[in-house]
Amino acid sequence: MAEPVLDIRSLKKSFGAVVATDGVSLDLREGEIHALIGPNGAGKSTLIHQIAGTIRPDSGEIRFLGQDIGTLGVAERARLGLGRTFQVSSLAHEFSALRNVMLAVQGSQGSSFRFFRPVMDDASLKEPAMAALERVGLANRAGIPAAELSHGERRQLEIAIALALGSRAFLLDEPMAGMGPEGSQALTAFLDGLRQEAPILLVEHDMEAVFALADRISVLVYGRVIATGSVEEIRNNPTVREAYLGEPA
Ligand SMILES: Nc1ncnc2c1ncn2[C@@H]1O[C@H](COP(=O)(O)OP(=O)(O)O)[C@@H](O)[C@H]1O
Ligand SMILES: [Mg+2]
């Protein structure tokens, strides 16, 4: 079998007496959505932070595309293609969807003589930005200010930015949060296709979305993975039902 895109081995992280990540091993393979579920405080966000590089693990290994990325900073990991959307959006709301993507692409290229030329006239920014909007189905919304996009469309725009920056895997921490049922359904349909672009590690509380999308599910409880398996395996796992789904075993 091909090497996983992302491979986490024996990761540990404590905050004082709280063991937030207690020897977590899991991987993410090309083309899949791997959902990470578990009760509040289980350590899901802490795990995502360690993969993205915003929190340093105490021990363990994080391999991405065959490389140990444990000592790299957030920006270096992003440059290698680790894409992340943030709970707090980093979009410029007054600017159009297209301009947001173009500015991100420009920012990633570092300083140059570009500022002599208006950003919006720069074909070397505009073409990859439009291509990214097309890949997420937002091409027809390119001229709309980010502020006027729906909640779900803003998530799609953030993902377009990640794609334009060359993301090879996505880390999504509760992308459905704050959405109504219609928004969740639209985002579910979108994520369903997105796995073709790059595999997704998906932290999500919306179990309907998780069961509809996940190729595999890992269940995290008190910083430990208590089970990994298909939707059917997880739904029928008595330990999981007791510990998380709130049903007697
Ligand atoms: N920066 C921090 N400092 C201290 N404790 C933290 C910090 N971040 C998370 N924790 C603790 O680690 C545990 C896991 O939290 P978190 O990863 O946010 O869980 P989840 O995302 O699954 O709800 C919790 O007990 C939380 O209180
Ligand atoms: Mg969380």
Express each pLDDT in 162-213 by its tens digit.
888 889 999 999 988 888 888 899 899 999 999 999 999 999 999 999 999 9
Question: Does residue 87 lie in a domain region?
Answer: no
- Which of 167, 190, 224 finishes a domain? 167
CA of 38 to the centre of ligand 2 (A): 9
pLDDT at residue 148 in the model: 97
- Cα(46) to centroid(ligand 1), Å: 6
Question: Per residue in 69-84, pLDDT tens?
Answer: 999 999 899 889 998 7
Distance 249 CA to ligand 1 centre (A): 27
Question: Which ligand is the nearest neighbour of the Cα of 87?
Answer: 2
> Ligand 1: which of 15, 174, 204 to mutate, most ligand atoms within 8 Å of CB?
15
Q: Are residues 75 and 175 in the same domain?
A: yes
Question: What is the domain count for the chain?
Answer: 2
Contacts of 234 (CB under 8 A, 6+ apart): 217, 219, 227, 240
Say if residue 172 is in the same domain as residue 246: yes
76 and 6, same domain (yes or no): yes
Distance CA 228, CA 34 (A): 9
Residue 1: predicted pLDDT:
62
86 inside domain: no
What residues line ligand 1, using a CB cutoff of 6 Å?
Answer: 15, 18, 20, 38, 40-46
Nearest CA to ligand 1 atom 1: 15
pLDDT (0 to 100) of residue 242: 83
Domain final residue, candidates 167, 186, 211: 167
Task: Tell me the three state secondary structure of residue 134.
Answer: helix
Residue 86 has pLDDT above 70, yes or no: no
Among 133, 167, 201, the domain boundary falls at: 167
Nearest CA, atom 7, ligand 1: 15
- Distance between Cα 41 and ligand 1 center (Å): 6
Look up the domain containing 135 and give its range. Answer: 96-167
Q: How much is the pLDDT for 90? A: 75
Q: How far is Cα 140 from Cα 47, in angstroms, rounded to an integer?
A: 36
pLDDT tier, 246 (very low <50, low <70, confident <90, very high otherwise) = low
What pLDDT was estimated at residue 8? Answer: 98
Q: What percent of the chain has pLDDT over 90?
A: 69
Q: 66 and 7: one domain?
A: yes
Of ligand 1's listed atoms, the one at least distance from the Cα of 203 is 21
Asked whether residue 198 is assigned to any structural domain, the reply reads: yes
42 C-alpha to center of ligand 1: Å?
Answer: 8
Q: What's the pLDDT at 151? A: 87
Q: Where residue 107 falls among pLDDT bands split at 50, 70, 90?
A: confident
Look up residue 96 and give its DSSP letter.
B
Q: Which residues contact 135 (CB under 8 A, 6 or more apart)?
A: 160, 163, 197
Q: What is the pLDDT of residues 39-71, one digit of tens each?
A: 999 999 999 999 999 999 999 999 999 999 999
Query: Separation of 43 CA from ligand 2 center, angstroms?
Result: 7
Here the CATH number for the domain that contains residue 238 is 3.40.50.300
Which atom of ligand 1 approaches the CA of 38 most closely?
Answer: 22
Q: What is the pLDDT of residue 119?
A: 73
55 lies in some domain: yes
Q: What is the pLDDT of residue 121?
A: 78
Rounded mean pLDDT of the chain? 90
Asked if 173 and 150 sit in the same domain, the reply is no
Residue 230 lies in a domain: yes
Q: Classify strands 59-64 and 67-68 as parallel, antiparallel or unpaired.
A: antiparallel
Confirm whether 239 is domain-assigned: yes
Shared domain for 49 and 113, answered yes or no, is: no
* Spatial CA neighbour of 32 closest among 241, 194, 156, 242: 194
Tell me whether residue 226 is in a domain. yes
pTM: 0.90
pLDDT at 177: 87
Atom of ligand 1 nearest to the CA of 42: 22
Q: Tokens 């725009």 correspond to what residue?
A: 157
